[in-house]
Amino acid sequence: MTEPISIPHLLHRLEGRETVEFKAILPELTSLTPVQAKVQVTHKDSYLEIIGVAETIVTLTCDRCLAQYNHRLSIDTTEMLWFTEGGEEGKAEIPFEEDLELDDMVETVSKNGLFDPSEWVYQQLCLEMPYKNVCGDACEGIPKVSPENAQPEGDRRWAALEALKGQLPS
């Protein structure tokens, strides 16, 4: 994991920028491989500019056939987090009964707070998860059994008793 970056200390860095590289298992993300990431955080006058590249492999379950398959998850993105004056970051109440303006739909962070690169990478990877999990283009789904071909399946736990029943005299 990475240490959170102090936003006020970014002003004292060369060009107000800090780059963090890490290779780690994120506890919130179930992945087969560690997340490899590079995140560059730059302090602009009124916002943070975050540029990130990351990748990992996750195991998903196909929505059609229920088989598990591996999926490469990667990001290559840029985001701006606008500064707020107070200590609250992104905690404003959202009026659900009103239409939101574009200005109401921005991410904010306290200019005196911390920025956690690993948490940001986790959020970006979650946004890249496919909403429809299909193991491949040729996936036909769960095989359908027609009534003519269907064999009555008994409970295999009773198989030993069925064999014993056949050995007993009538």
pLDDT in tens, 81-116: 999 876 554 445 545 566 656 555 578 899 999 999
Does any domain span residue 168?
no
Amino acid at 13: R
Question: For residue 158, is it within any domain?
Answer: no
* pLDDT confidence of residue 161: 83
Q: What is the domain count for the chain?
A: 1
Q: What are phi and psi of 118, to 5 degrees?
A: -70, -35
Domain around 116: 5-143
Per-residue model confidence as pLDDT tens digits over 23-54: 999 999 999 999 999 999 999 989 999 999 99
Indicate whether 58 belongs to any domain: yes
Per-residue pLDDT at 159? 82
Q: Please check whether residue 162 lies inside any domain of the structure.
A: no
**Which token pair is 127?**
């946004």
Query: Quick one: pLDDT at residue 103?
Result: 58
- The 3-state secondary structure of 127-161, one letter per residue: HHCCCCCCCCCCCCCCCCCCCCCCCCCCCHHHHHH
